[in-house]
Amino acid sequence: MRADNQRLESRIVRYGDLIPCTTAFIDARTPGSDAKENFTIIGPGVAENPDQHVHITEPHGFNIGGARQPPGCLNSQHFHETAEVFFVHSGRWAFRTGEHADEGEVVMEPGDTISIPVHVFRGFENVGAEPGFLYAVLGGDDPGRVVWAPDVLENARGHGLVLLESGRLIDTLSRHSVPKDDPVVQPETRAALERIVRQIDTTTLGTVVVRGGFRLGTVPGAPAGVVEQTVLGEANLSEPAPASPLAWSHGFVCRRVRLAPDSRTPALRRQDAEVIFVHAGGLELEVEGEHAHLAPGDTVTIPVGAVRRMSSRTGADLFVTRAGNAPQPAELLDEATS
């Protein structure tokens, strides 16, 4: 790494440098769920293990995480209080709704996006033949805590992990003791679940998925060879960006940006947090005069107000997250050439 690129490199999380946690959640030792790896890329996410490594701690208004699982590995049924969005980077995944994973199911492939509403029990399994990676966006700087289906907590008993009311996970196999002043989490009562939990069947679940080949709304004004399309978020007249297929409020928006081979964007600034995930191809990024090459699976967060430019020799497919329901339009500083 060149010395003059240290600032930019500190804002890049490369796929090969991801630090996993294998005991991030209460189900991490339950048979069938005991081979998953969880990542907190930007922000603390909802990991229950206080030892989970957070790659970038700077608040963005949303959190970025990831999950990597081998074939047949389950992530147990749970729900969230804020938005949870998954983008499939690799693998073939079945997402299932319902307390017992029996209300709805959809199978997703690389390039697909799903946003399951709050208070809906959801879980997912790698149903492909190879290990897979899910890229995740969670709403808010503090996305709250996971609420587990009652049988998940029951099935976790006896495997050495104890979840406390404070949200902290204790690993008793590592000789950590359970504090007396922090009660152990108990399953939600049936009355509490009936008040808050929402149901989504297979038909409805299909409406919260955007397939990689879906005909998305295109944001006008991009230079030749560059296409930006709306995946998630309301219409934004200031850009102007059309409504996405997932057009309800999330607190952030997600876009697919595709660069053709030998294409280039103009130099520009943005006044909202922007995180770029490289799904495919290779991206050449310049930020305030510093340069970096990003490969598939890499994530970069660009400072608010920084001058940036993107280009690609081979072509690139990017999943971009910006803070707010209506991000400000980019300030163009020059004209791109194709």
What's the CA gap between 93 and 80, in Å, rounded? 20
Say yes or no: 35 and 156 in one domain.
yes
CATH of the domain at 144: 2.60.120.10
Q: Contact 238/326 with Cβ under 8 angstroms?
A: yes
Which residues sit opposite 91 in a β-bridge? none
- Per-residue confidence (pLDDT) for residue 338, from 0 to 100: 43
C-alpha distance from residue 211 to each of 87, 162, 188 (Å): 10, 38, 34
**pTM reported for the whole predicted model:** 0.93
Say yes or no: 174 and 77 in one domain.
yes
Say yes or no: 52 and 182 in one domain.
yes
* Alpha-helix residue ranges (DSSP H) falling in the chain: 6-9, 150-156, 190-196, 202-206
Say yes or no: 94 and 169 in one domain.
yes
Chunked in runs of 10, what are the mean pLDDT values of the chain (338 residues)?
A: 69 98 94 96 92 95 98 97 97 98 98 97 98 97 93 90 88 81 90 94 97 89 93 94 95 97 96 98 97 98 97 98 96 72
Say yes or no: 37 and 155 in one domain.
yes
Say yes or no: 222 and 242 in one domain.
yes
Q: What SS3 class is residue 148?
A: strand
Query: b or e along 142-162 (b: 16 or more beta carbons within 10 Å of the residue's beta carbon)?
Result: ebebbbbbbebbebbeebebb
Domain count, the chain: 2
- Per-residue confidence (pLDDT) for residue 51, from 0 to 100: 87
- Per-residue confidence (pLDDT) for residue 104, from 0 to 100: 98
Which residues sit opposite 65 in a β-bridge? 40, 136
Of the CA atoms within 13 Å of residue 193, those in its CB half-sphere come to 17
Query: Given phi > 0 = left and psi -120 to 50 = alpha, else beta, which region is 233?
Result: left
- Per-residue confidence (pLDDT) for residue 50, from 0 to 100: 86
- Per-residue confidence (pLDDT) for residue 268, from 0 to 100: 96
Residue where a domain stops, chosen among 210, 233, 268: 210
Structure tokens at 180: 């007396």
DSSP conformational letter for 187 = P
